[in-house]
């Protein structure tokens, strides 16, 4: 059985582990945005056998001892980025993503009193978050290639 562990990292630590992460994880983006809103930027990283397999950008606001995770206005969606080799069986791939999102949800529940995140539409299976008593609803967005005719 695969065991996953999650840790909160700084954006610099996350970028040093994987320099190919999208701009949403870059310290040049996260730090000024967090400063503007008075937040603390973090990256929730999921590990399997000391290999980072999933990433979630988090913005934290503290009030006395209460910690709250949420999306600032300029970051409407929080993408969960999986850095896993693809599997041949689609059902095994979904099971692996479920286990990872469950680990992420467990870490969010332990680390924060309140969680208010809009997950990226590319994440369609939110069962892992729901199993950890987080309210999670998939946001569906459809893309139409405008180069093709609409007829």
pLDDT in tens, 39-89: 999 999 999 988 999 999 999 998 888 899 888 888 888 889 998 888 888
What's the pLDDT tens digit per position in 86-99?
Answer: 888 888 888 899 99
Looking from the CA of 85 toward its CB, the CA atoms found within 13 Å total: 3
CB 50 within 8 A of CB 90: no
CA distance 138 to 54: 18
Nearest to 43 by CA among 72, 4, 80: 80
Q: With b meaning 16 or more CB within 10 Å and e meaning fewer, what string describes 30-46?
A: beebbeeeebbbbbbbb
CB 117 within 8 A of CB 78: yes
């Amino acid at each position: 059985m695969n065991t996953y562990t999650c840790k909160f990292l700084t954006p610099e630590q996350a970028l040093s582990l994987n320099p190919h992460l999208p701009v949403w994880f870059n310290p040049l983006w996260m730090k000024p945005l967090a400063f503007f809103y008075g937040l603390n930027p973090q990256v929730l990283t999921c590990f399997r056998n000391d290999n980072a397999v999933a990433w979630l950008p988090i913005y934290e606001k503290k009030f006395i001892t209460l910690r709250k995770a949420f999306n600032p206005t300029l970051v409407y969606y929080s993408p969960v980025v999986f850095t896993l080799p693809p599997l041949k069986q689609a059902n095994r791939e979904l099971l692996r993503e479920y286990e990872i999102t469950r680990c992420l949800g467990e870490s969010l529940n332990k680390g924060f009193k309140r969680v208010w995140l809009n997950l990226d539409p590319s994440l369609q299976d939110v069962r892992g978050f729901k199993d950890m008593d987080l309210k999670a609803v998939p946001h569906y967005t459809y893309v139409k290639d405008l180069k093709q005719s609409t007829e």
